[in-house]
Structure 1
Amino acid sequence: MKLYPIQCGKFKLDGGAMFGVVPKSLWQRTNPADENNLIELGTRSLLIEDGKKLILIDCGLGEKQNEKFFGHYSLWGDDNLDKNLKKYGFVKDDITDVFFSHLHFDHCGGAIEWNADRTGYQPAFKNAQFWTNQDHWKWATEPNAREKASFLKENILPLQESGQLNFLPTPQSGNYGFAPDLKMDVIFVDGHTDKQMLPVIKYQDKTIVFAADLIPTVGHIPQVYVMGYDTRPLLTMEEKAAFLQQCVDNDYLLFFEHDAHNELASLKMTEKGIRLDQTFSMEEVFGY
């Protein structure tokens, strides 16, 4: 097995929205804002190569939205999915599975693209199976008013129309073995959106957790640093407390999807609670 970080693109969001009720004087220490109060974010996917399987966890915003849409998100940098797959010798047609942590546009938009004559949509990964869970699918296709702008029909409905969509069973609690041969489990959390899935992967002598939107950046590690986007912020705090303790107890490394500058981090217990220990790149930890 090999793991590869795949930066799909970078964007910006309002720092206040990303940190909710936390004062700017605190969050700007880790996530400095520009003159418009925007902070730098990424859409980093994780690629898992194991035998004939090539699994991509999340796939960024994609490129099919119009200029007005992307204008809201201040795209920056020159990263994209195709460029960074090519870096490791792959193309989108090589992907066998695309696993979605959840179906907000910045996590699944890259899975669907315009067809050749731009009259409709088609899967960007023509040889892949798409994976979500039934409860989250219902949540995304019957969206509440708060999340409606994040669940875009053009990203979601073509997944089902393709015939490539699959549902994982949702456990009542605990982890679910998505791919036992890959030593990959899934933690379900509900504070950000209903039945978000966090993959847990054993790799070499480490365990890596794809933190998705439970802990989007290193600045969000403290328990009370919760996004304004979360539908159930008090539940997020409860889930983070349990999750962070699990990470410390088991020496898990966090893999950040939205941190534009940090790929991995270890955690430590301090007098103030669980905090960042060290940050690493995949190359530093695994030597490639």
Structure 2
Amino acid sequence: MQLFPIEAGNFKLDGGAMFGVVPKSLWNKTNPADQHNMIDIAARCLLIEKGNRLTLIDTGMGNKQSEKFFGYYYRWGDYTLESSLKKHGFHPDDVSDVFMTHLHFDHCGGSVQWNKNGTGYEPAFKNATYWSNKDHWQWATEPNRREKASFLEENILPMQQSGQLKFVAQPNCDFAEENELDFGILFVDGHTDKQMIPHINYKGKTLVFMADLLPTAGHLPLPFVMGYDTRPLLTLPEKEKFLKNAADNNFYLFLEHDAHNPIITVQNTDKGVRLNETLSLLEFFN
């Protein structure tokens, strides 16, 4: 197995929204805001090469939305999904599977693109199977008013209309060790219904793709929960249980949204689970 970090493009989000009820005087220490109160955010995806299978976890925002839409998110840097794939010697047509942790636009927007004549949408990975789960798909395609702006039809429905969509089998418990993919999956419901958190065995280590269960290293303290979470009081025990397990078992946490701390480990302290070590992508993957 080989793993490749795929940088799909950086952007910014409102720091207050990212940290909910936590005062700026606290979160600004780890995630400093600019003059507009915006903080740096990454869309860091992960490519898994194993045998003939090439699996991409999440796809970032994509590039098909309007300039007005992107104007809300202050995109910065030179990363794109396609250029990052190319950097590692791959083309979108090589991807066999696209696994979406959840269907918010900043996680699945790159899964779908305009067709050649600009009259409609098509999957950006024409040879890939797209993976969601049945409960989250229903949640996203029949959205509540609070999340509706994050579930964009043009990002979601073309996957099903193309016939390329499949659903991961959902276990009776919150963790699926065996499934259709090459990694374990933790199901969590605090951020959005049935978000999926991949656990990948890699060179004797467990690498966990954190998605929005832990957006940045600054979110390690339990009360530091995003304002975007639909069930923040459920995020608390989900995060607490996961972080204790991560500290006890020395998991490596791949942070999708932390622009400056790509991979971290955590440790138990008198104040709870806290940061242990920050690793660069080169340090972990080489």
Do both proteins adopt the same fold according to a TM-score greater than 0.5, normalized to the shorter chain? yes
Give me the TM-score of the superposition, normalised by structure 1: 0.97
Share of identical aligned residues, percent?
Answer: 60
In 2: Cα distance, 1:66 partner to 1:3 partner: 32
In 2: Cα distance, 1:281 partner to 1:120 partner: 39
In 2: Cα distance, 1:71 partner to 1:30 partner: 25
Count of aligned residue pairs for this structure pair: 286
Counterpart in the other structure of 1:54: 54
Coordinate RMSD, CA, aligned? 1.1
In 2: Cα distance, 1:56 partner to 1:83 partner: 14
In 2: Cα distance, 1:104 partner to 1:23 partner: 26
Structure 2: stretches of 5+ with no match in the other structure: none
Counterpart in the other structure of 1:124: 124
* Gap change, CA 1:180 and 1:67, over 3 Å in 2: closer
Aligned AA for 1:155?
Answer: N
Task: Give the superposition deviation at 1:56.
Answer: 0.3
In 1: Cα distance, 2:129 partner to 2:224 partner: 35
Conservation of the 8 A alpha-carbon contact between 2:169 and 2:179: no
Task: Classify the secondary structure of the residue corresponding to 1:146.
Answer: coil
Counterpart in the other structure of 1:81: 81
Residue 144 (str. 1) matches residue 122 (str. 2)? no
Give me the TM-score of the superposition, normalised by structure 2: 0.98
Task: Classify the secondary structure of the residue corresponding to 2:42.
Answer: strand
* Gap change, CA 1:265 and 1:109, over 3 Å in 2: same
Residue 247 (str. 1) matches residue 229 (str. 2)? no
Structure 1: stretches of 5+ with no match in the other structure: none
Counterpart in the other structure of 1:7: 7
Task: Give the superposition deviation at 1:169.
Answer: 1.8
Q: Deviations over 1:95-146 (max 9, x none)?
A: 0000000000000000000001110000100000000000000000000000
After TM superposition, list the pairs within 5 Å mapping 1:147-162 onto structure 2: 147-162=147-162
Q: Deviations over 1:43-99 (max 9, x none)?
A: 000100011000000000000000000001111111001111111100111100000
Counterpart in the other structure of 1:102: 102
In 1: Cα distance, 2:283 partner to 2:128 partner: 30
After TM superposition, list the pairs within 5 Å mapping 1:163-242 onto structure 2: 163-177=163-177, 179=179, 182=182, 184-242=183-241
Conservation of the 8 A alpha-carbon contact between 1:168 and 1:178: no
Aligned AA for 1:238?
Answer: P
Moved over 6 A (4+): none
In 2: Cα distance, 1:119 partner to 1:267 partner: 48
In 2: Cα distance, 1:16 partner to 1:181 partner: 36
In 2: Cα distance, 1:180 partner to 1:273 partner: 35
Counterpart in the other structure of 2:133: 133
